[in-house]
Amino acid sequence: SLCVKQPIGKELFQQFCWAQPDLQNYMTLLKDLVGQTGTRMQPNVTFLLKCKKFKLRKELHRFLSQEPFNKYQDSMFFDRFLQWKKLERSQINKKLFRQYRLLGKGGFGEVWACQVRATGMMYACKKLDKGHVKRRRGENLALNEKQLLEEVDSRFVVNLAYSYETKRTLCMVLTMMSGGDLKFHIYNMGQRGLDRNRVCFYAAEVCCGLTHLHEKLIAYRDLKPENILLDDKGHIRISDLGLAVKLSEGRLVRGHVGTLGYMAPEVINGHKYGLCVDWWGLGCLIYEMTAGKPPFKGRKENVMRQELELRITKEQETYDEKFDEEVKSICTALLNKNPKERLGCSGSGGRDVKSHPFFQEINFRMLEAGLIEAPFTPDPRHVYCSDVQDIDEFSTVRGVVHTDKDDQFYKQFNTGSVPLSWQNEVTSPNRKVKGQREVRPCSSCRGRLQGSRSLQTGSQRRPLGSLRSCRKSSETDGGVNRSRDHLDLRGGAALTLLGLVAFSAFSALST
């Protein structure tokens, strides 16, 4: 886990191995294997060859996890890793972020665009009003969503980067999704509904997201267009895990949970259910993207709750000329009222859904690796949501008395940065935000940077630089006074310049 799943740990362990002459051949072989696995020719490689590569990589990992890893723990590379981990666990507060415009409002609070001062990374900050949470007894919902988001690391599910509290709010800093939600694209972009390519692409990415959740035994339970968000590249992520539930192996749950019109028949009927309810939701989503309306409700039709539930449990959905045979086939299979016969509800789960002819043009290996471009890219000059002025001001609840029990809940919520998200942020390539000046080193650091060797060359110098820092050249940007921090790179090579700037800035903010 330290050297495979954690980006900083992986980078430092690789630096250590490249610095050891007796390990360089192993690292070269491992690099070649990883490179071949990620190529676009992978689908054409025979199954036998894939198995041999997998076994070889497994043996390499097993070898490196023994004596080389023991030596690594006694090296300065591991010392640097521990220093980064200490920084990762620094206390987080609102001073770390710049706040921008209001993005939306929910039942417990508001969502604002924000930016990490140290790295320039943009996020969406979900602020839950403490008074509203307590008055509506939403502590379990808020904590459940936060804990599930910490557990999931998927490019198809909104990721949690930080969680902290202020005097009046509980804050979750999430992946920034600037392309709007799927409902807006279905109903507010000209003709209702989406073209076939977009329907297939979005359905495939949602399928991947559900599969990743199901691998963690998480039932999402609230799949609907409003909860599917687009990023600036046109890729989607599943958001809002407030109603999701973590299941035990083989255990079913019972609960009337979800959104009216998208709940599976077994949920409405009060039966026990498991992960199958999410595949029903995917069927509703594909149907609505294609038809421009939900499967059991007409456009602008006002239907009483009991009537809508009766349609879902008893009536069969209808299909018009917008549905070709493959779309109709997958919708029929996913909207099967019997969960035992529903597509995706067998032992294979998401693999059965991915193998349906509807997805025959989708290479799921490339999709999960982020190698397929989205069929639609949002215009960065366009706001894909209702006018912000139409969002009512969120009222703060007053007169709510906080107790020691509330403080315990806030302590559980306020855990700071999420390790994987934080490490990905500080080790990512330089991210320039539009209108933001490029981060450059000061003159005293520039020479050291130019003299440092590349990570790929297996430098034996001190990794990631020392912990000494210098602070120079303050600048004012948009009325906000900022100072640039630069680590002393003497005798060291950095993960990225951005990571080093983040390192020093986080240190300054946490003290």
Helix 276-291, helix 325-334: angle, nearest 10? 150
Task: Supply angle C-alpha 259, 293, 367, rounded to 5.
Answer: 80
Task: Tell whether 126 is in a known binding site.
Answer: yes
What region does 210 belong to: left with phi over 0, alpha with psi -120 to 50, or beta?
A: alpha
Strands (E), 166-310: 169-175, 218-219, 228-230, 236-238, 245-246
Per DSSP, what are the bridge partners of residue 461?
none
Show the tokens assigned to 233. 């590249």
Kindly state the tokens that stand for 396. 């703060």
Ordered DSSP codes for 417-459? E-HHHHHHHHHSPP-PPTT-PPP---HHHHHHHHHSPPGGGT-
User: Is there a contact between 461 and 493 (Cβ–Cβ < 8 Å)?
Assistant: yes
CB neighbour class for 283 (10 Å; exposed up to 12, middle 13-18, buried from 19): buried
**CA-closest candidate to residue 80, choices 127, 18, 15:** 15
Question: Maximum distance among all alpha carbons in the chain?
Answer: 74
Helix (H, G, I), strand (E, B) or coil at 474: strand
Eight-class DSSP state of 62: H
**Residue 407 annotated as catalytic:** no
Candidates 129, 181, 222, 231; catalytic one: 222
Output the known binding site: 126
Output the known binding site for ATP: 126
- Report, as residue numbers or ranges, the catalytic residues: 222
